[in-house]
Structure 1
């Protein structure tokens, strides 16, 4: 290997390592700052004051660089001072009057807070890239009978594109040729594939499962329903929370007031109260230290982190304190149906067999035929039969997939048809078992009919069943005075059945992602703070629009990234636990804030009346910080 090659080999891993640690740079800097503070304190105890000051300076520079840079840039951009600048001034003021440790600790606390904020912001943008990965980059364009691959961005309204089985549909449009089953989970969230024929609408991002189809595009690539989902997520996440807006309005006034009072205290007591210059400057520096919001920061962050840790132990992951805070204010919660209130996969609920057939024999042969299909209904039937019959499945002599209808097969000379009612004869299907089909369908079941040698042999009913814990979870929320709503892309009939079984207060059926967002906006207007619970890609805009987005742990990556809270075990009753934890946290934060503000006001007053020396000011200031942290740690207990 050449020298250059060896150098290149050494450089590449270094570049990769730098890229890996870059997102965590602020947290690493805060950690180093803490190490230098501890080292500075120890060297000071060893009477090496010069080395101690050097270590404290390193803690100042390394820990405070990111927040100082942010504060200076924000001050320049907005033309007003902010809390970041006040914290820097307070730390410098501590150093000026010889209290390097307090100034460095102030920087350290602020550095940790900033690192956590940056980490949360980075995580909140990942779902956009996850969504974009589902958008096809190329399409198979049909032009004068010839086929060629073109970028999706070049498609125009009216173009004809060929979509083969297993491919994602690249653009919204209507089917002009072919018949197929399409997985629309990316748009509607529903687990059941939808049969599509001539002149039926299809959407970008959905998956063509069976037959090849020719689609005529109706929208440009940047106007598709799938693209709107991405835009809705971006728009909802760019909206600032009420707490954030309040802080932004408040901080400028607070900083100006504190700095103005400090400036006045440097001069006015000298002229009006006959203080010496040294006394005036000394009191001004004490004021700058005790008026810094160190205790206020400690009032919120430890309590938040303790509550988040407590939730994590119970399988409730919260992506930030503001989301946990908002949980206690919820007045309404909207739920997606599939995979949230229900299990998300169809299950066999009932089987009715013609008395002329053996049920075990018929199910065995039915599963043998369905085992050749990847359709979710077919796989559910196979799973059910395998769980109840200990027999190896057969291999049909002949098999024909009739796209959109069902399957034909031959086993031991018998002619089988499995599929829709129209496929086996609608009149016979509806009259079978004294019209039991209509009753099963009204209960939200999807029906599969089995015909053997032109004789209707069985009806197999399947349904996406409600989770066992769903009703318990809804009842817990109702006791807390929270209104519950179900939003689903499923039909009115199915939605009505699931709503009754789940015991939700209201439901909206046949909702596309943008319609879910509109319903959530109306709920916001009526109830104020609301939450959305979902698990699919199609739920991402709604999760981002709600004040609190809650995702099921087994849901899509996009839902998990978009949501503010994740239930890792898909345990819906944990929502009520999270709300209770939020109320505990907010109570402790209120206690901390009231206590810390009271201490700051007492210290400021004592300093003005020359009753407070710097050591006691530091003890009061740091002591109040320690007390509110200890109070916050109570949240670690269940």
Structure 2
């Protein structure tokens, strides 16, 4: 399948890294044992159900025939239950070289025991209810997996390749190479990541970033495979191999998340065989206690033992964590937050401190003009046009920001501009020499201008002077501006008593200015790339569970060191590969949402565990009081399991 090929590269990068204090990141695929019964057992189940109904009508008049039909109902409706009970127990025990029983074995023994004492009707009812509930549980648990796996169906398979003569040809996406051109018709799926070289449109990018509003796109803008083109027709130049696209990474993360269970789910899975073994050991003791201590008859003691088998079965406990975890992962995947496993989602709620890289994570990563002051207002239009036409001839990053800022208010005019090394830009207009330079180039600057420049610099801004014949006539301030989503995320984590830290290589003055704007608890400035992981290690020792958010290659060691590493989706492949969570569209508000879902997940799982064990205790007590029979025990027991499953599925719903 195409999606499997797309994911292959990233599967090669799966790895493990273990952290101190018991926090372990496992990025390998855990192979969990699943049952997919297909259609035949369901058909046979209904045959068994029909036999059971017929037997009920014959029971009073033709007991032997009715019991025979009840027996056939057990065989038809429950052969897969018995197969998993005895077969899986045998295979798992051989593999583990120790006795590894399962829940199905308990139910099989209960049904066989009921028939041994002549309770064929109850044996059939036991199997019908258990098998029916089992199918419903599989459907409910599979709903979360289907929600996630639906993403696979969105993977593009074909593209309209533009040939040398200008005609188009339908080709598999896997055959496209970097530099190829493809046509994307209105309403069609963008086949792969690329750059628009002609046309204008609006694109629905919800499959990538979870945003419902289409984005306007024109020449030079990036587009992503799997997104949906709007009303315009565009030509796209391929910029990534099909195995390297953003959506291919999403597929790999989605596949990985389904096999990596949360810590609670893993503990329950490991505890299940031990629990079943304890129940099997207690069974003969309970029968003997009924005979010799409680004074029950042999038939009563054996019957109560069978009810105990059913009541003590940990079906609901086994379903407490996995469906809920998959539901949470599915919900967040649709919103553009991708977890590499349930363990990382569950652990996010335990976060005590979180550190953020500044550039590209808390800020846009590119400078923007924040202040443009011309001291003589009457000259402002002329100065704006002059600066625009001087800067558009420079390729400096600050020049790009200035041109972008002025593009809507200035007209293009031809100027002869000289780029003086160490000074800046110079141009002569109407006999006057104009300069755009750093403040140190100018002398004799007034105190008012100097104070304004110092004030802007204290806010972390880079200041450039505009001069005419060596006299400063205006200034421009630029800054890598904090994004609004980052500000919201910082405020949210602080409200949750999670300590926030900004780590930056910038000077202390600049770092603290940005930190004040964002409202972080702590700013660590002048940090070398190799020092980031050391800071995370120190915070782990001070606070406990620590997260790290970054987007660059230099963030990778810190992402690995953190208990939960979060990479920004627009970041480097290295950062995305080693992180535990990927936030698409660089929207940190989505990380706040993930933290809320994590808290809900842990709450739901705890509710499920307490409820499931309370039901077990209640049924066991009622059994010893003689108030529970096999039918009652099965209905309440399997009903509790379905309640637990449905409670977990609530995490598919959007709720703050």
- Same fold per superposition (TM over 0.5): yes
Contact 2:307 2:633 in 1 (8 A): yes
Corresponding position of 1:587: 603
Q: Secondary structure at the match of 1:387?
A: coil
Which range moved further: 474-483 or 438-447?
474-483
Change (3 A) 1:335 1:81: farther
Task: Give the Cα separation in 2 of the matches to 1:340 and 1:19.
Answer: 31
Corresponding position of 1:153: none
Corresponding position of 1:377: 398
Contact 1:41 1:52 in 2 (8 A): no
What RMSD in Å do the two structures reach over aligned CA positions? Answer: 5.3
Corresponding position of 1:257: 278
- Give the deviation of 1:283 after TM superposition: 6.2
Corresponding position of 2:511: 495
Task: Give the Cα separation in 2 of the matches to 1:373 and 1:251.
Answer: 68
Task: Give the Cα separation in 2 of the matches to 1:536 and 1:555.
Answer: 6
Contact 2:360 2:551 in 1 (8 A): yes
Corresponding position of 2:246: none
- Give the deviation of 1:601 after TM superposition: 2.5
- Give the deviation of 1:495 after TM superposition: 0.9
The C-alpha deviation readout for 1:283-342, integer Å capped at 9, x for no partner, is 666555543332013333344445455556766555554444334333323233223333
Corresponding position of 1:44: 48
Task: Give the Cα separation in 2 of the matches to 1:73 and 1:438.
Answer: 76
Task: Please point out which of 441, 450, 460 is paired with 2:476.
Answer: 460
The C-alpha deviation readout for 1:473-511, integer Å capped at 9, x for no partner, is 434433333322222222211111111122221111133
- Give the deviation of 1:633 after TM superposition: 4.8
Change (3 A) 1:81 1:494: farther
Task: Give the Cα separation in 2 of the matches to 1:118 and 1:70.
Answer: 28
Change (3 A) 1:573 1:105: same
- Give the deviation of 1:598 after TM superposition: 1.6
Change (3 A) 1:68 1:345: farther
- Give the deviation of 1:350 after TM superposition: 1.7
Task: Give the Cα separation in 2 of the matches to 1:340 and 1:566.
Answer: 12
Is residue 629 of structure 1 aligned with residue 638 of structure 2? no
Show the 5 A alignment for 1:151-190: none
Is residue 479 of structure 1 aligned with residue 495 of structure 2? yes
Show the 5 A alignment for 1:98-177: 100=127, 102=130, 106=134
Contact 2:502 2:523 in 1 (8 A): yes
Show the 5 A alignment for 1:410-421: 418=436, 420=438
Is residue 522 of structure 1 aligned with residue 538 of structure 2? yes
Contact 2:84 2:105 in 1 (8 A): no
- Give the deviation of 1:461 after TM superposition: 1.5
Task: Give the Cα separation in 2 of the matches to 1:112 and 1:64.
Answer: 25
- Give the deviation of 1:581 after TM superposition: 4.1
Contact 2:352 2:499 in 1 (8 A): yes
Contact 1:87 1:106 in 2 (8 A): no
Corresponding position of 1:619: 635
Contact 2:466 2:474 in 1 (8 A): yes
Corresponding position of 2:352: 331
Contact 2:261 2:322 in 1 (8 A): no
Contact 1:419 1:448 in 2 (8 A): yes
The C-alpha deviation readout for 1:345-366, integer Å capped at 9, x for no partner, is 2110123447599443343343
Show the 5 A alignment for 1:17-416: 30=35, 32-33=36-37, 35-47=39-51, 71=92, 75-76=96-97, 85-87=101-103, 89-90=105-106, 93=109, 100=127, 102=130, 106=134, 243=264, 253-254=274-275, 256-262=277-283, 287-308=308-329, 320-353=341-374, 358-389=379-410, 391=411, 393-394=412-413, 397=416, 402=421
Contact 1:33 1:59 in 2 (8 A): no
Task: Please point out which of 458, 483, 502 is paired with 1:442.
Answer: 458
Q: Secondary structure at the match of 1:434?
A: helix
The C-alpha deviation readout for 1:254-296, integer Å capped at 9, x for no partner, is 4543343357668887899899999887766655554333201
- Return 5+ residue gaps in structure 1 as ranges: 1-14, 124-236
Task: Give the Cα separation in 1 of the matches to 2:375 and 2:134.
Answer: 79
Contact 2:84 2:104 in 1 (8 A): no
The alignment's TM-score, normalised by the length of structure 1, stands at: 0.61
Q: Secondary structure at the match of 2:449?
A: coil
Task: Give the Cα separation in 1 of the matches to 2:83 and 2:96.
Answer: 19
Corresponding position of 1:542: 558
Task: Give the Cα separation in 1 of the matches to 2:369 and 2:475.
Answer: 11
The alignment's TM-score, normalised by the length of structure 2, stands at: 0.59
Contact 2:549 2:568 in 1 (8 A): yes
Task: Give the Cα separation in 2 of the matches to 1:304 and 1:38.
Answer: 27
Task: Give the Cα separation in 2 of the matches to 1:21 and 1:445.
Answer: 43
Task: Give the Cα separation in 2 of the matches to 1:62 and 1:112.
Answer: 20
Task: Give the Cα separation in 1 of the matches to 2:542 and 2:42.
Answer: 53
Change (3 A) 1:37 1:522: farther
Q: Secondary structure at the match of 1:329?
A: coil
The C-alpha deviation readout for 1:121-174, integer Å capped at 9, x for no partner, is xx9xxxxxxxxxxxxxxxxxxxxxxxxxxxxxxxxxxxxxxxxxxxxxxxxxxx
- Give the deviation of 1:439 after TM superposition: 3.2
Task: Give the Cα separation in 2 of the matches to 1:369 and 1:28.
Answer: 67
Contact 1:352 1:433 in 2 (8 A): no
Change (3 A) 1:320 1:457: same
The C-alpha deviation readout for 1:233-264, integer Å capped at 9, x for no partner, is xxxx9x99865786688567545433433576
- Return 5+ residue gaps in structure 2 as ranges: 12-28, 53-68, 113-122, 152-256
Task: Give the Cα separation in 2 of the matches to 1:448 and 1:413.
Answer: 23
Task: Give the Cα separation in 1 of the matches to 2:622 and 2:448.
Answer: 90
Change (3 A) 1:276 1:426: farther
- Give the deviation of 1:388 after TM superposition: 3.2
Corresponding position of 1:209: none
Question: Would you say how many aligned residue pairs link Structure 1 and Structure 2?
Answer: 496
Contact 1:470 1:573 in 2 (8 A): yes
